[in-house]
Every structure is written in C-alpha cells, then in structure tokens.
C-alpha cells in the first residue's frame, strides 16, 4: 500500500478504538466477527475509505492487523456492512475491472452443501535444514530455501469448517434466464451464518471478485469467482404449512409462480395445457391437460404431471402428453423431459418411474410464502401456447451443475450424483485434486457400491463435471 501504510494502520487503530465498546461486547460472547460500517469508515477517514474501495484485500488485512495490535480481540475477522449502492454488481457482470475491489451481490441461495472439514494450512519440516514451511490449503511445499524439493515431514495442520453454495442473480423484469455460480466458503464466521439460511432465500454477499484457477482436461483454466467476507439475509424463504396445499390446483399454481422450487432457470411455457387425441396408453382418454410445461436452461422441454398422492396411472397420462406435445411442435421426444410431481410417493411409483424413464419430484417442503388460493395473474395465453417454429435455445456449461444431467436421470440418481459431488469436494481438501476412485468409494461407504459409483462418475464425465486424468483416478473440472 506504499509509504503511507504505516499512517493508514495508525488511522485504522484510531477508528477501531472508536468501536472499543462494541468490540468488547462481542469479545465477551466469544465472537470473532467484527461488523464495521463503511459509512462510519467514510465519516472517520476519507483515506481509509478510499483505500477500502480501491485496494480492498490489502485494507481488510490492514484493519485485521490493526485489530490484533490494539489487543481488543485476537484472530478477529472484519465484516464490512453498509456499502454504497454504487458497489452493487451482478454475477453476470463480473469483469477484470472489478477484481479485488469490495462489492456486493444480491442473489438467491439455490443450494447449500453440508458443512465439511477444510484444511486451511499445513506445516512441514525440511529434513535437510530443519526449516519450518507453512503452506495454505492441502498442498505440499514445492521447495525449501535450502534447495530441497521433496520428502518434507508434515508437523501438523489447521482444519476449519467450510461450505459450498450455489447462487443465482435475482431476475430483473424481462429476463428469461440468469447466471448462477458456485462459491466455496472457508471462513468459519460466514459458514455458520450460511448454514442457518434456507435455500430460496434472498441474501447479500459482500466481498470482492477474484480469479479462480482450475484444471479442465489437463489445461489450466481461469474463471471469475467471488471472495466472500460477509453475508446478510435480505428476504427469508419461509416454509409454508403443507395444509395450504389442499389440491393439485394449489400445487400447480404455486410451482408455476415459483419454478425455482423445481429447479433453477426454468422458463415458463404453459400451465394446464390441453391436448386432444391422447389415447395411446389409455383408450378412454381422448383429451387431457398437462399441468405444467417449462424449458430448462439447457434447452430441453419439461412436462410435469402433478398428483397430490402419486399414482402409477399418471405415468401413462404423462407419456400421452409428451407424444402429443412432440407431434404438435415437431420436437423429438428424446428432447422432452418427463416428470411426476407429488407430495408423497409409494415404492411402486418410484419403481415404475425409474422403469419408464420418468423423473419423480416429491415436494415435501415448500420454501416460499404462499396464499391459500390459486393464482389470479396467470395469463390465459399460457393455457393455449404453441412454440414458434423459429424457437431456439442456448445452452451453457456450469461447473458441477447436476441439473445439466436431468434428461433421463431419476430422483434417486440425482441424490447419488449429489453424494459423489460432495465426496469429491471433501476429498480435495484431504488429498488434492487427483482422487483415487477406490478411496472415494470407501469414503461413501455403504451409501454406494463401486459399480454405482463408476456409473455416476461416467455421467459426470459426460456432462463435463469430472474427467479421468489416468486410470483409476478422477478429477474435478
């Protein structure tokens, strides 16, 4: 930060002294997180606030160093709050000019993993000269100052809690699709906060854009990510009482209004779509109505048949609608996903869905507020919708996005995919990027046999989420 770093650290100490009472109260509770208002920082020192905006990472370190030197608290974490609106960005707009500059993202929390152990740093001893070498993460030292390059003795490691989240931009008026991104968080103060949030909530991520390096098919690849320093809950996704879902109409209208509850980035096509001459499977069914039709983010069509209590007859009805929809719109049936949605399912329905290549979605919890009436704002045009002949759809790759595998993948398989994904992430923190498949199977234990694991790995490799750098090993893209 140049020659004025000493002056800035003294200014930072003075600023923190003004927070002495609040910091003292937090220290008594055992908290290591110190929320600091950017507005108060600006009022106290123009130089310090300008440094925070333009040299964010260095200024955060400076404030945490000053906090340590004041003796007010040890190993404290600075959490910046109340940033100016000019610092708001969206996932899709992150560019090089934003790197390392403090910003915030208002996003929807789509998914959060379980909390898992993460190696923060390791200490090694050099056998040649006795030097102690500290390295971040699960990596090993590449070289000692004495010249030695291998066979260092590990002395210990620091392990902390970590969590992975997937978030998407909040949709703006007129937008049909939005960008989503996965973030890994290993700051204990943020991990515990995120763990309390409900999926579907609107949250604010405060931090700064960074470049994340990874290896794809043996080639180094860079992509934009976001270093998270603080999180705030903006709007909670309340869990509704299931007594409000009294019939298919309630469930249908709820899902059409909140399609993210089915999966992210669905585009609405039609609700209660009528089809004629659908008697392939049931001769007494000359016409019928498909409850919901969407297009997913990869361009596949999704037709959903809803049943409050799942019944195998719905499978035949759904296949009728798929054939009629494909015929009317000139679409290959292979490009149409079939899904049964219900509040509960028997083992028979699960088995028949798996046999028929039908996805099964059980809506056991609804994580949105919902009024006990059907929607009045669904346009009638949605009930008689036909795709324009020139319709085309753009696909894009997402890192470890299991929804990209949705076509033909059952709910059971999706659960297995999620288990493998989380196990791979945990293993990376233990052994690095190159993961032995045999050890991965041991990690999963009785949750999955080796044959099932290899089947899921193949699906993830086809989807571009994993690859096999050599026989018997797997690596995340």
Where residue 178 falls among pLDDT bands split at 50, 70, 90?
confident
pLDDT at 246: 53
The CA–CA distances, whole Å, from 352 to 20, 27, 166, 415 equal 65, 58, 32, 18
pLDDT at 11: 93
pLDDT tens-place string over residues 425-434: 888 877 777 8
For residues 296 and 176, what is the distance between their CA atoms, to the nearest angstrom? 11
3 state DSSP class of 227:
strand
Helices 313-329 and 347-356, interaxial angle, to 10°? 30
Residue 276 has pLDDT above 80, yes or no: no
Evaluate whether 261 touches 368 at the Cβ level (below 8 Å).
Answer: yes
| 59 vs 119 pLDDT, higher one | 59
Q: Report which DSSP code applies to 127.
A: T
Mean pLDDT of the chain: 78
Backbone angles phi and psi of 402, in degrees to 5 = -70, -15
Residue 92 has pLDDT above 70, yes or no: yes
- CATH of segment(s) 2-82: 3.30.1640.10
Tokens of 112: 């959060």
Topology of the domain covering 91-237: OB fold (Dihydrolipoamide Acetyltransferase, E2P) (2.40.50)
pLDDT at 242: 40
For residues 460 and 400, what is the distance between their CA atoms, to the nearest angstrom? 8
The class (CATH top level) of 402-476 is mainly alpha
For residues 182 and 276, what is the distance between their CA atoms, to the nearest angstrom? 43
Residue 14 has pLDDT above 80, yes or no: yes
Evaluate whether 425 touches 113 at the Cβ level (below 8 Å).
Answer: yes
Residue 399 has pLDDT above 80, yes or no: no
Residue 423 has pLDDT above 50, yes or no: yes
Q: Where are the domains of the chain?
A: 2-82, 91-237, 242-383, 402-476
pLDDT at 371: 39
Share of the chain above pLDDT 90, in %: 21
Range with the lowest mean pLDDT among 125-139, 334-348, 404-418?
404-418
| 219 vs 263 pLDDT, higher one | 263
Tokens of 98: 């934003």
Backbone angles phi and psi of 198, in degrees to 5 = -90, 135
pTM for this prediction: 0.53
pLDDT at 461: 72
Where residue 86 falls among pLDDT bands split at 50, 70, 90?
very high
> With respect to CATH, is domain 242-383 assigned 3.40.1350.10?
yes
Where residue 1 falls among pLDDT bands split at 50, 70, 90?
low
């Amino acid at each position: 930060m140049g020659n004025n770093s000493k002056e800035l650290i003294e200014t930072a100490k003075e600023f923190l002294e003004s927070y002495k009472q609040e910091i003292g109260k937090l220290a008594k509770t055992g908290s290591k997180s110190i929320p600091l208002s950017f507005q108060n920082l600006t009022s106290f020192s123009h130089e310090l606030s300008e440094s925070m905006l333009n040299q964010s990472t260095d200024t955060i370190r400076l404030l945490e160093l000053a906090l340590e030197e004041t003796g007010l608290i040890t190993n404290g974490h600075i959490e910046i709050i109340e940033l100016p609106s000019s610092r708001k960005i969206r996932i899709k707009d992150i560019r090089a000019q934003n790197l390392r500059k403090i910003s915030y993202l208002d996003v929807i929390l789509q998914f959060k993993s379980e909390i898992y152990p993460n190696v923060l740093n390791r200490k090694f001893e050099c056998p040649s000269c006795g030097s102690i070498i500290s390295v971040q993460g699960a990596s090993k030292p590449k070289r000692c100052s004495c010249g030695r390059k291998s066979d260092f003795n590990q002395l210990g490691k620091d392990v902390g809690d970590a969590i992975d989240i997937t978030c998407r931009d909040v949709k703006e008026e007129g937008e049909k699709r939005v960008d989503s991104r996965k973030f890994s968080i290993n700051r204990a103060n943020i991990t515990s906060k995120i763990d309390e949030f409900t999926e579907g909530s609107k949250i604010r991520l405060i931090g700064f854009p960074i470049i994340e390096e990874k290896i794809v098919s043996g080639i180094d690849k860079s992509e934009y990510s976001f270093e998270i320093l603080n999180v705030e809950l903006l709007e909670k996704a309340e869990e509704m009482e299931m007594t409000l879902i009294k019939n298919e109409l309630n469930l249908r209208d709820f899902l059409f209004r909140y399609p993210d509850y089915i999966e992210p980035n669905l585009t609405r096509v039609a609700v209660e779509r009528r089809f004629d001459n659908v008697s392939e499977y049931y001769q007494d069914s000359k016409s019928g109505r498909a409850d919901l039709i969407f297009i997913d983010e990869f361009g596949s069509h999704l037709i959903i048949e809803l049943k409050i209590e799942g019944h195998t007859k719905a499978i035949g009805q759904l296949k009728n609608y798929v054939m009629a929809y494909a015929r009317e719109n000139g679409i290959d049936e292979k490009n149409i996903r079939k899904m049964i949605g219900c509040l509960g399912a028997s083992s028979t329905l699960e088995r028949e869905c798996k046999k028929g290549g039908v996805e099964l979605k059980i809506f056991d919890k609804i994580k949105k507020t919902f009024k006990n009436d059907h929607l009045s704002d669904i346009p009638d045009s949605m009930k008689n919708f036909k795709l324009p002949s020139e319709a085309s759809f753009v696909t894009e790759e997402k890192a470890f996005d299991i929804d990209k595998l949705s076509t033909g993948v059952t709910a059971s398989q999706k659960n297995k995919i999620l288990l493998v994904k989380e196990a791979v992430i945990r293993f990376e923190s233990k052994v690095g990027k190159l993961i032995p498949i045999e050890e991965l199977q041991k990690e999963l234990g009785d949750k999955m046999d080796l044959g099932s694991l290899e089947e899921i790995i193949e699906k993830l490799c086809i989807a571009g989420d994993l690859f096999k750098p050599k026989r018997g090993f797997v690596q995340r893209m």
